[in-house]
Structure 1
Amino acid sequence: MVKILILANNSVGLYKFRKELIEKLTKENEVYISLPDGDYISKLKEFNCKFINTPISRRGTNPISDIKLLMSYNRIINEIKPEIILTYTIKPNVYGGIAARISKVPYIANITGLGTAVENNGILQKITLFLYKLALKNAKCVFFQNKGNAEFMKSKIVINNYRLIPGSGVNLKEYSVMEYPSDKTIKFLFIARIMKEKGIEQYLEAAEYFNEKHSNIEFHILGYCEELYADKLKDMHDIGIINYHGMQDNVIDFHKTSHCTIHPTYYPEGMSNVLLETAACGRPVITTNRSGCREIVEHMKTGYIVEQKNTRDLISKIENFIGLENKAKRQMGLDGRKKVEKEFDRNIIVNAYIEEIEKALR
């Protein structure tokens, strides 16, 4: 049996987007997962993988914490002696990659998104790119989730072996096509962390605009709310402009009654799981013209693409959608489903990992 070590920064993402890979790997290998304790650890353990509690400050920039993380990874690698290491997200990619390189263990990194530290110019970008240069130099493979991320990183640092994959893909059985709702009340969904970069301000502005003009339109919001927007969401919810449902573990029930998901993000994503899951359910999407979003949408066929940070353009596209007959809205969703079946099936990602693991172990 091959010893495989997986480094990640949270249990939710590892379970929701990588469980199919982990399940496949644990059938014939000894799999260890190193990440902070969380709500989904018990579910991950059901696949017979061994959990190592590894605290990570996901958004912190304290160098002492980061050095401790690097030392933790070195210790874990020396104790387990894995034959290959898989890493996800920035800090596990960087410090896990450096630790793997020091220990001369083959490793595969997954750039799940550039993050603001890399996308925004400044000293933090320079430091992060320097660390990435150290971390990725000897990687057996670096997975990129969209072409824009790959081109950006290749322009900044030398990456010898890389491969483009369609994000994290989507489980087409878990997210199946649903019956499209009637057109009596048109319901829009926003599913994301409630933060500026996810486009929440544009969504709220659109909700205010349509609240004054239409009585048969509802704007729903799901997601953890940052303190900055807590009061505003409560006020808008109380007067009926939006319906805020808080953090939800299962969004499928909300897709059942919704007509369209609006994802006006300008956050540096890898590939939007929100859009993939929405399309898999047979629902149209309205999203921004940026890497990680536009790849999922065929403009005016499976949804609409809008300019980033442009509320007026978002309102225009929502009006276009509202003006469609219900049959046309439904067909948009079905065409979106066909696209994800062809291009974003999660099995594509699982198979890519198996291929690269086999290559790395030869």
Structure 2
Amino acid sequence: MKKILILANNDVGLYKFRKELIRELVKDYKVYISLPNGNLIPELEKLGCEFIETPINRRGTNPITDVKLLWRYKKIIKSTNPDVVLTYTIKPNVYGGIVSRISKVPYISNITGLGSAVENGGILQKVTLTLYKLSLKKAHCVFFQNKENEEFLSSNISIGNKRLIPGSGVNLEQYSLLDYPKSKEIHFLFIARVMKEKGINQYLEAAEYIKKKHPNTVFNILGSCEEEYEEKLKEMNNKGIIRYHGMQKDVQKYFRTAHCTIHPTYYPEGMSNVLLESAASGRPVITTNRSGCREIVDDQENGFIVMQQDSKDLIQKIEKFISLSYESQKGMGIYGRKKVEKEFDRNIVVEAYINEIEKINKSIS
């Protein structure tokens, strides 16, 4: 039986966004998954995967730790002897790609976002691009989730086979079209880690302004919170400006009562899963004019696009949304659902992977 090794940095992303692909792969392959331990590992094992625990410091820049990861991948590839390696996120892409290249094992990399190190420039950008050059040069295929990432890396690195896919796609059965809520209050929804780069400052500023002018609005926040925002959220929650719900497993519960999702991020990501899931559920979205976000929004059709780090623009777009009739708001949600069905079905991503893996098999046989 042929073998596939998947290198990833966390269990949540692998299960939530790749389980449909894994279900297809285990039909014909022995599938190994290498990543840190987590609560969803048992679920991944139930799908038919064999788990190999691999500690990864996702945001760390310690070269000693990274060299250890490189050697860990070398041992894993030697022991599993895979026919194909699939890599996701920066460190698995870089170090998994380098080891696969050295080991002469075909590999497919997925650029889920370039990360702040590349976006912010400087010495870290140069180091990261050098590592990408070493890791991606001999990849059988490099999947990009947005055009901007593809153009940037391709202008700095010679990449052979590359394909643009619609992010991780969205499971249209799991995120079905929900009834649009009828209520006197208009509920807005922010779903992300509460951190500066996700646009939380702009969301909080908008909530404070809008709430005074439009008391019938509710500004919900879902997500884990960075320490610097804990007191501010607690204070604003106590004042009734926001409703902070913390980390939630069932976001669909909140989609049901939400009228609009607001995602004012300026964090470098491949394609926003929050926006895909919101649109699939029939919820209008307000988000920033950056790659990974604007692809999901046809401005004024299924939501509004705002300038990055611009609270005034965000406030204007929220007020514009509030001024719409119920039917217009609902219509935006339906338009978004149709757009996602056409362009972002997760089956498109699964088919792209199966297609590339079959090409590898044909070249070997």
Is residue 266 from structure 1 mapped to residue 228 from structure 2 by the alignment?
no
Residues 261-320 of structure 1: CA distance to partner in whole angstroms, max 9, x if unpaired?
Answer: 000000111000000000000000000000000000000000000000000000000000
Deviation of the 1:250 alpha carbon: 1.2
SS of equivalent residue, structure 2 residue 187: strand
Residues 156-183 of structure 1: CA distance to partner in whole angstroms, max 9, x if unpaired?
Answer: 1111110000000000000001110114
Distance 2:90 2:41 in 1: 20
Distance 2:9 2:339 in 1: 30
Q: Which residue of 1 aligns with 2:26?
A: 26
SS of equivalent residue, structure 2 residue 55: coil
Distance 1:284 1:40 in 2: 30
SS of equivalent residue, structure 1 residue 255: helix
SS of equivalent residue, structure 2 residue 213: coil
Distance 1:231 1:39 in 2: 28
Deviation of the 1:350 alpha carbon: 0.1
Distance 2:85 2:246 in 1: 36
Question: Bigger shift: 352-361 or 91-100?
Answer: 352-361
Q: One-letter code of the match for 2:32? A: Y
Residues 239-279 of structure 1: CA distance to partner in whole angstroms, max 9, x if unpaired?
Answer: 11000000011100000000000000001110000000000
Distance 1:206 1:331 in 2: 24
Report the aligned-residue RMSD. Answer: 0.6
Distance 1:333 1:183 in 2: 16
Count of paired positions: 362
Distance 2:108 2:236 in 1: 45
* Matched ranges for 1:135-146 at <5 A: 135-146=135-146
Question: Bigger shift: 309-318 or 176-185?
Answer: 176-185
Name the % identity.
Answer: 68
* Matched ranges for 1:138-157 at <5 A: 138-157=138-157
Q: One-letter code of the match for 2:345? A: D
Q: Which residue of 1 aligns with 2:215?
A: 215
Deviation of the 1:118 alpha carbon: 1.1
Distance 1:54 1:257 in 2: 39
Is residue 228 from structure 1 mapped to residue 228 from structure 2 by the alignment?
yes
Q: One-letter code of the match for 1:42? A: P
Is residue 66 from structure 1 mapped to residue 77 from structure 2 by the alignment?
no
Q: One-letter code of the match for 1:207? A: A
Q: Which runs of 4+ in 1 moved over 3 A?
A: none
Question: Bigger shift: 131-140 or 206-215?
Answer: 206-215
Distance 1:290 1:269 in 2: 9
Q: Which residue of 2 aligns with 1:205?
A: 205
SS of equivalent residue, structure 1 residue 174: coil
Q: Which residue of 1 aligns with 2:196?
A: 196
Q: One-letter code of the match for 1:93? A: N
Residues 44-94 of structure 1: CA distance to partner in whole angstroms, max 9, x if unpaired?
Answer: 011111000000000000000000000000000000100100000000000
Q: Which residue of 1 aligns with 2:351?
A: 351
SS of equivalent residue, structure 2 residue 287: strand
Q: Which residue of 2 aligns with 1:37?
A: 37
Distance 2:17 2:48 in 1: 17
Q: Which residue of 2 aligns with 1:276?
A: 276
Q: One-letter code of the match for 1:296? A: I
SS of equivalent residue, structure 1 residue 59: coil
State whether residues 203 and 264 of structure 1, in contact with CA within 8 Å, keep that contact through their aligned partners in structure 2: yes
State whether residues 183 and 326 of structure 1, in contact with CA within 8 Å, keep that contact through their aligned partners in structure 2: no
Q: One-letter code of the match for 1:54? A: T
State whether residues 113 and 270 of structure 1, in contact with CA within 8 Å, keep that contact through their aligned partners in structure 2: yes
* Matched ranges for 1:302-313 at <5 A: 302-313=302-313
5+ residue gaps, structure 1, are none
Q: Which residue of 2 aligns with 1:168?
A: 168
Task: Provide the TM-score with structure 2 as the length reference.
Answer: 0.99
Q: Which residue of 1 aligns with 2:51?
A: 51
Q: Which residue of 2 aligns with 1:86?
A: 86
Residues 200-240 of structure 1: CA distance to partner in whole angstroms, max 9, x if unpaired?
Answer: 00000000101211110000000010111111111111111
Q: Which residue of 1 aligns with 2:6?
A: 6
Q: Which residue of 2 aligns with 1:239?
A: 239
Distance 2:152 2:183 in 1: 43
* Matched ranges for 1:98-137 at <5 A: 98-137=98-137
Q: One-letter code of the match for 2:61? A: T
Q: One-letter code of the match for 1:189? A: L
Q: Which residue of 1 aligns with 2:338?
A: 338
SS of equivalent residue, structure 1 residue 361: helix
Distance 1:90 1:361 in 2: 26
Q: One-letter code of the match for 1:158? A: S
Distance 2:273 2:35 in 1: 21
5+ residue gaps, structure 2, are none
Deviation of the 1:361 alpha carbon: 2.2
Q: One-letter code of the match for 1:176? A: S
Q: One-letter code of the match for 2:311? A: T
